[in-house]
């Protein structure tokens, strides 16, 4: 499973390490062709009800209270009577609808969608999928370990994820995230699609996190893993890693220090460095130094913007130089710790981690040089 606490850090990354660099569109262009080729089979399988497992349906059968608009309910009844009546069911679809059977509602919504009544199907899926968390911004998910347990209808949440994909990608991502968030019940297809959307939304570290979780689900939760989808995720993870290495080594895009650090955490299929190990502690000691530097920049920027020193340029320069000195100290410490980490654990790191670390070290070195050459300026 994706580590919730580690993902929470990635959700706030753009407010942490400075200076922030926007990931260029080239990264998305490079990944786009690979990702959509891989995705074709997933989209097709969705129409064949392959991404929605029978267990998803059984899990919620008879456990939900559904509220539908009366007119919408009558439209569903009319559609079922006209298009879905069979003699093979033990209980007719109309009878199941009248008692608001969750699976019957989902099936009728799917049928209405395939018959062109997109709006009605989406409204029914919302009634089944929404559990109150849909009001959240998607960055609010998984703020702490086990802090959110999705209680809505997973198949409907998946259907909404696909429905919103072409018109509202953040909302599409939200519903795929909801589908992945039932405690102890990971949804492999939702993980894959969340990873795909994170990549399109310029967040490669979260993309790596979800695609890796999808690829390794056969080890962490074999009961919920589908072999073919696992192979697809492994290929996607490998392709993303290769493209990131190309971007980093060619200099064709500048992901930024914070993004590179976040990617590093998810850049090895075997989750190196493992929590509670010497190498894990060594790496995070360096990260604490970078966070200390970022805090200095934030505090100095805040005090400067408030113009507390008015027109006293001399005092502003003195404060900036003091902050600059502290910043150089923390950056130098981070650089030395990461050089030591690189030397000791080179063989344990993946190729992507090695490339990311080279980029991180180069960026820190450039920051140190910039700070050291800007003494005497009143801006940090």
More confident residue, 48 or 175: 175
Q: Please choose, from the candidates 34, 29, 31, 11, the residue with its C-alpha nearest in 3D space to the C-alpha of residue 244.
A: 31
Same domain, 321 and 365: yes
Q: Are 161 and 171 in contact (CB under 8 A)?
A: no
Query: Could you read off the pLDDT of 210-227 as tens digits, one per residue?
Result: 999 999 999 989 999 999
Tokens of 362: 């180069």
The predicted pLDDT at position 37 comes to 31
Q: Is residue 273 part of a domain?
A: no
Same domain, 282 and 334: yes
The predicted pLDDT at position 379 comes to 66
Number of domains into which the chain is organized = 2
Query: Could you read off the pLDDT of 3-30 as tens digits, one per residue?
Result: 433 333 333 343 333 333 333 333 333 3
Containing domain of residue 319, as a range?
278-372
Q: Are 77 and 85 in contact (CB under 8 A)?
A: no
Supply the DSSP symbol for 271.
-
Give CA–CA dist 242/250, Å, rounded.
12
Helix (H, G, I), strand (E, B) or coil at 131: coil
User: Which of 241, 265, 289 is the endpoint of a domain?
Assistant: 265
Query: Could you read off the pLDDT of 268-315 as tens digits, one per residue?
Result: 999 999 999 999 999 999 999 999 999 998 887 655 555 554 557 788
User: Which of 265, 290, 319 is the endpoint of a domain?
Assistant: 265
The predicted pLDDT at position 161 comes to 96
Q: How many helices (H) and strands (E) does the chain have?
A: 17, 0
Question: 183: domain CATH number?
Answer: 1.25.40.10
Q: How confident is the model at residue 183 (pLDDT cuts 50, 70, 90)?
A: confident
Sign of the dihedral defined by the CA atoms of residues 127, 131, 135, 137, in that order: negative
Same domain, 250 and 176: yes
Same domain, 194 and 105: yes
pTM of the predicted model, to two decimals?
0.78
Between the alpha carbon of residue 52 and those of residues 158, 161, 379, the distances in Å are: 8, 12, 55
Give CA–CA dist 284/289, Å, rounded.
9
Supply the DSSP symbol for 61.
T
More confident residue, 304 or 338: 338
Same domain, 259 and 296: no
Packed helices 257-265 and 351-372: angle between N→C axes, nearest 10 degrees: 150
Residue 100 in this model has a pLDDT that exceeds 90: no
């Amino acid at each position: 499973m994706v580590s919730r606490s580690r993902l929470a850090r990635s959700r706030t990354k753009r407010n942490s390490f400075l200076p922030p660099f926007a990931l260029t569109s080239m990264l998305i262009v490079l990944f786009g062709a690979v990702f959509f080729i891989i995705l074709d089979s997933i989209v097709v399988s969705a129409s064949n009800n392959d991404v929605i497992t029978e267990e998803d349906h059984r899990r919620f059968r008879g456990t939900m209270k559904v509220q539908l608009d009366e007119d919408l309910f009558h439209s569903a009844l009319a559609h079922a009577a006209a298009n879905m009546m069979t003699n093979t069911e033990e209980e007719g679809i109309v009878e199941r609808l009248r008692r608001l059977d969750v699976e019957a509602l989902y099936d009728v919504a799917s049928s209405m969608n395939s018959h062109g009544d997109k709006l009605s199907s989406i409204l029914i899926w919302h009634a089944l999928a929404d559990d109150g968390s849909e009001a959240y911004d998607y960055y609010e998910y998984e703020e702490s370990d086990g802090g959110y347990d999705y209680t809505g209808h997973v198949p409907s949440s998946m259907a909404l994820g696909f429905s919103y994909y072409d018109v509202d990608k953040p909302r599409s991502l939200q519903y795929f995230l909801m589908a992945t968030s039932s405690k102890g019940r990971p949804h492999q297809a939702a993980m894959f699609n969340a990873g795909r959307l994170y990549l399109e939304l310029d967040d490669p570290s979260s993309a790596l996190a979800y695609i890796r979780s999808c690829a390794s689900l056969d080890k962490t939760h074999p009961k919920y893993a589908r072999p073919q989808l696992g192979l697809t995720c492994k290929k996607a993870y490998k392709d993303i890693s290769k493209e990131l290495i190309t971007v980093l080594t060619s200099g064709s895009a500048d992901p930024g220090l914070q993004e590179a650090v976040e990617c590093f955490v998810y850049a090895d299929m075997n989750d190196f460095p493992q929590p509670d190990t010497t190498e894990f502690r060594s790496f995070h000691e360096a990260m604490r130094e970078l966070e200390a530097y970022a805090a200095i920049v934030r505090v100095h920027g805040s005090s400067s913007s408030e113009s507390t020193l008015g027109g006293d340029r001399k005092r502003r320069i003195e404060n900036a130089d003091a902050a600059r000195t502290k910043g150089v100290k923390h950056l130098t410490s981070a650089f030395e710790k990461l050089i030591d980490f690189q030397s000791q654990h080179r063989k344990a790191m993946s190729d992507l981690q090695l490339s990311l670390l080279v980029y991180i070290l180069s960026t820190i070195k450039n920051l140190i040089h910039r700070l050291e050459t800007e003494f005497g300026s009143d801006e940090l």
